[in-house]
Chain A
Amino acid sequence: MSTPTQIIAPKFELSRRAALAQRETKIAVAGLNFYYGRAQALHEITLSIPERMVMAFIGPSGCGKTTFLRTLNRMNDVIPGTRVEGKVLIDNQDVYAPGADVVELRRKVGMVFQKSNPFPKSIFDNVAYGLRINRLTSSKSELADRVEEALTDAALWSEVKDRLKSSALGLSGGQQQRLCIARALAIRPEVILMDEPASALDPMATSKIEELIFDLKRQYTIVIVTHNMQQAARVSDLTAFFLLGKLIEVNATEKMFTAPDEKLTEDYITGRFG
């Protein structure tokens, strides 16, 4: 059997920027098919995502990018009638292997959604939630330290440190989204999946999220779905273009936006699609 690196040998030539940051493969997907009932939503997806880099998924609505994102931490499992074929390897472990620990997978692979979804609890309790239910801390002071660390990493600490007991629902939209990122970071994941994390935010809040992504990639592997191509260009090292459930092209972001290899990609990013 092929090793993961053989399966997903990148077909693109890494650009200078990407080559400088060439890393070990964190996520390797090979021959992935996904079905909603009898409808096939993803066709033979094969790609690799290097560790501590940002990969953006772009493509028109319904192209399968969000479905694919959700296969990476088995979030589609909760949808009845869905079926997956192929392999998703994270750190060389097949997340769909029989007996794979889904709870551990989702601890390792955190997710941030399009619409911020804070719990109707205090700011502190939102961030502490995952730590408490997973019993990841042994004392109140450790819990407080981990909450502060997560809020700091999410670039929110300075804005909320004096009102940790206030309701999270009183935060602005951008702050709520960063709170959700802090909540995901608190349990120290290795991969963060972001499904259009800034699509409902104003330009200033969007800018903060993008700066945050830039900072977070020093520690985490980040996969982001975005409808905003300029955002993909700004935040990602690598970009993958999906169309009708197929992966058309993966390339270094600067190559993708200056000289893509595939005509379909060129037509999409220049707005001449269809």
Chain B
Amino acid sequence: MEVHRHLDEELDGLRDSVLRLGGEAEAALKRAMHALTERDSNAAREVLEHDDAIDELEIEVDRQCVDIFVLRQPAARDLRFVMSVAKMAPVLERIGDHACNIARAVFDLNNEPELKNHVRLREMGEIASSMLEQALDAFTKNDAGAARDVIKRDAEINELYNQIFHELIEMMTKEPATATRDARLLFVAKHLERIGDYVTDICELTVYMAEAAVIKHRH
């Protein structure tokens, strides 16, 4: 039983690491959105400065997964857990990258007058943050039902993205002088839309982990 105790400890350690990574990605996204909506360049700088920590955590999760695969040869639910975490870690790291991209846009946007579309972007960011939080919660509880509910919410983000896209294009047409700012905001909206997709990926992995059901590309 000693060997199994070690495996359980290693699996717990892996769960802790990926949840720390998830927490960092979530914090980066919230901080980037705060920087955008409050025009806070210091917050944007913090997001960028913190990205190395997220990258390091991803590498740490990778190492733990490889060690468990090689040394413990996990099977069944353990295998699905380690597989899911191994695929989830780069997704979380990319969410951190998108937060960085939003933060970089903030530096440029803060040199220009504020645009009204921030209101819709704030809403989009709040949905993305809330989806990520719920996705990590579903993963922690091994709750496939909750993960499926989060996936449904991706439609909200996509809908908002489409609205913002059309509004910004219209503004660019009407006021060509604001085109650069509009384009930056469009990129921000796209980053948030991509984060919604990544959260969906996380939820699909949670469903696989909990039910051994592969639902990606099928909803």
Asked if B74 lies at the interface with its beta carbon under 8 angstroms from chain A, I say yes
Give the nearest-CB partner of A272 in chain B. B4
The interface bits of chain A over 86-107 (1 if a CB of B lies within 8 angstroms of the residue's CB, else 0) are 0000000000000000000000
Q: How far is the CA of A269 from the CA of B72 in the complex (A)?
A: 12
- Measured CB to CB, the closest approach of chain A to B215, in angstroms, equals 14
Are A270 and B77 touching (Cβ within 8 A)? yes
Interface of B is mostly: helix
**In the complex, how many residues of chain B place their beta carbon closer than 8 angstroms to a beta carbon of chain A?**
12
Q: Is B180 an interface residue (CB 8 A)?
A: no
Name the distance in Å between B131's Cβ and chain A's nearest Cβ: 27
Residue of A nearest to B211 (CB): A259
B66 close to chain A: CB less than 8 A: no
Check A212 for interface membership: any CB of B closer than 8 A: no
A257: contacting residue among B4, B7, B75, CB under 8 A: B75
Query: For B3, what are the chain A residues with a Cβ–Cβ distance below 8 Å?
Result: 271
Residues 211-267 of A at the B interface (beta carbon under 8 Å) = 229-230, 233, 257-260, 265-266
Q: How many residue pairs at the A-B interface have CB separations less than 8 Å?
A: 29
In the assembled complex, the Cα of A233 lies from the Cα of B7 at a distance in Å of: 19
Q: Which chain B residue shows the least CB distance to A230? A: B73
Q: What are the interface flags for A53-86 relative to B under an 8 Å C-beta threshold, 1 for contact and 0 otherwise?
A: 0000000000000000000000000000000000
- Find out whether the CB atom of B7 lies under 8 angstroms from the CB atom of A258: no
Which B residues are in CB contact (< 8 Å) with A265?
A: 76
Residues of chain A lying within 8 A (CB to CB) of residue B7: 271
Interface residues in B56-102 (C-beta closer than 8 Å to A): 73-80
Are A258 and B4 in contact (CB-based, < 8 A)? no
A230 CA to B74 CA, complexed, in Å: 10
A265–B74 Cα distance when bound, in Å, is 14
Instruction: Specify the chain B residue showing the minimal Cβ separation from A266.
Output: B76
**Measured between alpha carbons, how far is A266 from B3 in the docked complex, in Å?**
17
Q: Is the CB of B212 within 8 A of A258?
A: yes
Q: List B contacts of A230 (CB < 8 A).
A: 73
Query: Would B212 and A259 count as touching, CB distance under 8 A?
Result: yes
**What 7 pairs between A and B have smallest CB-CB spacing?**
A259-B212, A271-B4, A269-B75, A266-B76, A257-B75, A270-B78, A270-B76
Known: A233-B75, A271-B3, A271-B7. 15 other contacts (CB 8 A): A230-B73, A257-B79, A258-B75, A258-B212, A259-B76, A259-B212, A266-B77, A269-B75, A269-B76, A270-B74, A270-B75, A270-B76, A270-B77, A270-B78, A271-B4
